[in-house]
Structure 1
């Protein structure tokens, strides 16, 4: 999990483990110029909520999709490619067993012509679950596999001749493919799932705004404007957890992010944990260790060592 923040240090993202598994994800990334290519294998389910920096685009491909893998409420299936623009907060859930490759790049880095720029911006202005639509295209999968090999061979920050050109070609092809998608085509979420996803989303937004204090189930029901029973059904359907259990993992994920991204000489584990509503520091440390395989103090020590 911490390696996600290493790959995308300036990313407005929180990664939420959806279970207590120390081997949540394997991740390799390759950064070159304005591009970051990432290869991810999820050994346990994980949710990533993020908003892209302005002027960027994210393209991805699920080589294998685990159960409950979704993008903004729409199913991600094996062999599907997806595109995300910085128009909204995006939720991606990688189910257990998911293998995916992801590329984040600056639009300015690969668009040389005004017509292509307008094409990309017009796609970004489409509805959330249409702009982030999943495409079934075998040739796109092959292109992603090529980029995946580069990320595995040249992990970290190293030059790779031809990498920039391959990224440009891949992103241009995928953006063009997305423009051909209509609301009637592909794996759009059903009305039932969409309703449950929006209930989950409203409750999640309330959680994120109030992580610094106690959050009660009645407040989540009020925020989502549903009964407790409906709220529990929605969370079970979307993330496979109860609202209170999910909230605990959300606090853990947010604390991990803060420890990874804060200046290590200016924070303490206790201050970060309390800021995220983890009042019982002993329970917090034990839960953190079960999920991430290390104690929060270990995470902070690694940051101190890296900054030295």
Structure 2
């Protein structure tokens, strides 16, 4: 398989711009290079990300750093039990002078939408995000309103404190391309975090290194990254295997196959390649698949994990022989 020089040059440009973007974010998010790269991959693949971790590990700061690095708009939604769907999507307001209803956009109308503690809102309010995340639009009073592009949701939840929370339903978890965990920093990096706090440095002070328009151009380039038929079959074999594992009562959906392919395209682009390899698929598989898998009660008691099951599948599925899967 041959690739056009033009595509190779455009992918090289994406790689350089992503390197600038990651370096800029890491001016504030210290010691979490792999997490930052996965967030950038999600942004390029137009996928939403769920960050599940304990309080105070920079989940909110990460979203702010991304927004200010791309010179994009950002809205934060603090999910609480009394939050209404219209507080997320927007509402029709009657204009007495014009004698007509006008739509007032909700916070979901932004390039970066931070849904903080999403599992604290009621299921009805959580579901208000479903159409926005899947269709890039919201419908109010039977009128559809398109969201800005790119539109990237970073939602957070605390896995420890379950009091007053509502677990995300499987249908909503499936809308998130990836689930990421940040984890505690090393002592060395925590010293740098404390230094930032002492100096009152904030992610809002980051200078933008790209624009929303340029990000959309990069997204368009990523869509053209080649995924060979053999690698498409490789992806489907992996996701299909999750549906036959006896320890799982819910495997990965066809949406997961699409998400894994898109994430692999973005992973290839940030590495400067105009084609996807099996290694790209393997690198993204756990972040894309694990949160979509549901263990049986017996498997949970026996201490099986979704991570371990995906590792077993990746070790068992034959890899296409050609580097590009051609």
Q: TM-score normalised to the size of structure 1?
A: 0.30
Q: Which gives a bigger RCO, structure 1 or 2 (Cα 8 Å, sep 6+)?
A: 2
Larger fraction in strand = 1
Which has more radius of gyration? 2
